A and B are shown apart, each in its own frame.
Chain A
Amino acid sequence: MANKKNKHSRRQFFSKTVPVAIGTIGGVGLVAQSCQQANNDEEKISLLSADGQLVEVNKSALTKVPYKPVPPDEARKGIPGKHFVMVVDLARCRNARKCVKSCDHHHQLTPDRPFIKVLRMQDNKTSAPYWMPKKCFHCDNPPCVKVCPVGATYKRSDGLVLIDNERCIGCRFCMAACPYSARVFNWGEPKHQDGDRPYSPETSIPSQVGTVEKCDFCPDMLRQNKVPHCITACPNGALYFGDRNADSVTNGSETVRLSTLLKDKAGYRYHEELGTEPNVYYLPPVDRSFPFKEAPEGQPS
Chain B
Amino acid sequence: MKLDQKSSKMLAYFTSQMVKISKPGMVWLAIAFVFILGGLYALIVQIIEGHIVTGMRDNVVWGIFIANFIFFIGISYAGALISGILHLLRVEWRTPIIRIAEIITVISTLIGPAYILLCMGRLDRLHHLALFGRIQSPIIWDVLAITTYLIGSIIFLYLASIRDLAALRDYPFKSKWRNKVYKILAVDFNGTPKQNRYLDRSLDIMSAIIIPLAVLVHSVLAWIFGMTLRPGWHSTIFAPYFVIAAVFSGTGVLIIAMWVFRKYYKLESYITKIHFNYLGIILMILGALYAYFTFSEYLTSWYGSETWEMEVLYKLFNPNEYWWWFFFAAIIGVVLPIIVILIPKFRNINSITAVSAIAVLALWVKRYLIIIPTLEAPLLPLQDMRPEYIHYTPTLIEWLLTFAGVALFCMLFFLFSKFLPILPVVKADEGNYAQLRKTAMKRVIKRKVKETEKKESEKIKDL
In the complex they form, whether A and B have CB atoms below 8 Å apart is answered with: yes
Interface residues of A (CB under 8 A from B): 112-113, 117, 119-121, 134, 143, 146-152, 167-173, 175-177, 179-181, 183-189, 208-212, 271, 274, 276, 298, 300-301
CA–CA, A177 to B226, complex, Å? 10
Please judge, given known A-B contacts A149-B137, A169-B121, A179-B230, whether A120 and B380 are in contact too, CB under 8 Å.
no
23 A-B pairs (CB sep. < 8 Å): A119-B383, A134-B380, A147-B137, A168-B125, A169-B122, A170-B51, A171-B139, A173-B138, A176-B228, A177-B227, A180-B379, A181-B380, A184-B58, A188-B49, A188-B52, A189-B50, A210-B120, A210-B121, A210-B122, A211-B121, A274-B229, A276-B229, A300-B384
| 8 A Cβ contacts from B51-91 to A | 51-52, 54, 56-59, 61-62
* Other-chain residue from B51, B140, B382 in contact with A210 (beta carbon distance below 8 A): B51
The residues of B that contact A113 with a CB separation of less than 8 Å are 58
B119 contacts which chain A residues (CB < 8 A)?
A: 171-172
State in angstroms the CA–CA spacing of A159 and B197 once bound together: 61
Chain A residues with CB under 8 Å of B383's CB are: 117, 119-120, 301
**When the two chains form their complex, are residues A169 and B126 in contact, meaning their CB atoms are under 8 A apart?**
yes
Query: B260 at interface (Cβ–Cβ under 8 A)?
Result: no
- Tell me, in angstroms, the Cα distance from A121 to B379 when the chains sit together: 12
Decide: B132 and A151 in contact? CB cutoff 8 A.
yes
User: Min CB distance, B437 to chain A, in Å?
Assistant: 48
Do A176 and B230 touch (CB < 8 A)?
yes
Is B59 within 8 A of A181, CB to CB? yes
Q: Contact residue range for chain B?
A: 35 or more
Pairwise interchain contact A188-B50, C-beta atoms closer than 8 A = yes
B229 CB contacts on chain A under 8 angstroms: 143, 177, 179, 274, 276
Known contacts A147-B228, A151-B132, A181-B379: A169-B52 contact under CB 8 Å = no
Name 6 extra pairs, CB < 8 A, besides A181-B378, A301-B383. A151-B134, A167-B132, A169-B121, A169-B122, A173-B139, A179-B229
The reply on B394 being an interface residue by CB < 8 A is no
B62 and A298 contact, CB distance less than 8 A: no
B224 on the interface (CB 8 Å rule)? yes
CB-defined contacts of B193 to chain A, threshold 8 Å: none
Task: Select one of A177, A189, A211 contacting B122, CB under 8 A.
Answer: A211
Question: Chain B residues with Cβ under 8 A from A185's Cβ?
Answer: 51, 58, 61, 121
Contacts known (A147-B139, A151-B134); A120 close to B50, Cβ less than 8 A: no
Which residues of B are found within 8 Å of A112, using beta-carbon distances?
A: 386
Bound-state CA distance A143–B385 (Å) is 27
B436 beta carbon closer than 8 Å to chain A: no
Asked if B138 and A147 make an inter-chain contact with CB atoms under 8 angstroms apart, the answer reads: yes
Give Cα A298–Cα B383 distance, bound, in whole angstroms. Answer: 11
Q: Which residues from chain A contact B138 at a C-beta distance below 8 Å?
A: 147, 173
Q: Which chain A residue lies CB-closest to B140?
A: A149
Select one of A173, A179, A181 contacting B58, CB under 8 A.
A181
- Contact pick for A168, options B52, B122, B227, CB 8 Å: B122
* In the complex, chain B residues whose CB is within 8 Å of the CB of A152: 128, 132
What is the CA–CA distance of A149 and B131 in the complex, to the nearest angstrom? Answer: 11
B residues near A (Cβ < 8 Å) are: 49-52, 54, 56-59, 61-62, 119-122, 125-126, 128-129, 131-134, 136-140, 143, 224, 227-230, 375, 378-386
Which single residue of chain B is at the shortest CB-CB distance from A172?
B61
Given contacts A185-B121, A188-B52, A210-B122, contact A180 B380 (CB under 8 A): yes
Chain B nearest CB, measured from A174 CB (Å): 9
CA distance A169 to B379 in the complex (A): 25
Minimum CB–CB distance for B14 against chain A, Å: 43
- The 9 A-B pairs with the shortest beta carbon distances in the complex, nearest first, are A170-B121, A210-B121, A188-B52, A301-B383, A149-B139, A149-B137, A172-B61, A187-B52, A150-B132
Contact partners of A212 in chain B: CB under 8 A: 121
Contacts of A271 in B (CB 8 A): 379
Nearest Cβ on chain B to A190's Cβ, whole angstroms: 10
CA distance A209 to B50 in the complex (A): 7
Residues of B within 8 A of A208 (CB): 122
Cβ of A179: which chain B residues have Cβ within 8 Å of it? 229-230, 378-379
Write the nearest CB–CB distance from B129 to chain A, whole angstroms: 6
Q: Tell me which residues across on chain A come within 8 A of B121, comparing CB atoms.
A: 168-172, 185-186, 209-212
Tell me which residues across on chain A come within 8 A of B386, comparing CB atoms.
112
Contact of B128 among A169, A173, A181 (CB under 8 A): A169
In the bound complex, what is the Cα–Cα distance between A250 and B143 (angstroms)?
Answer: 46
A301–B58 touching, CB < 8 Å:
no
Q: Output the nearest chain B residue to A301 by Cβ-Cβ distance.
A: B383
Tell me, rounded to whole Å, the shortest Cβ–Cβ distance linking B30 to chain A.
Answer: 35
Question: Given known contacts A188-B50, A274-B229, is B61 in contact with A146 (CB within 8 Å)?
Answer: no
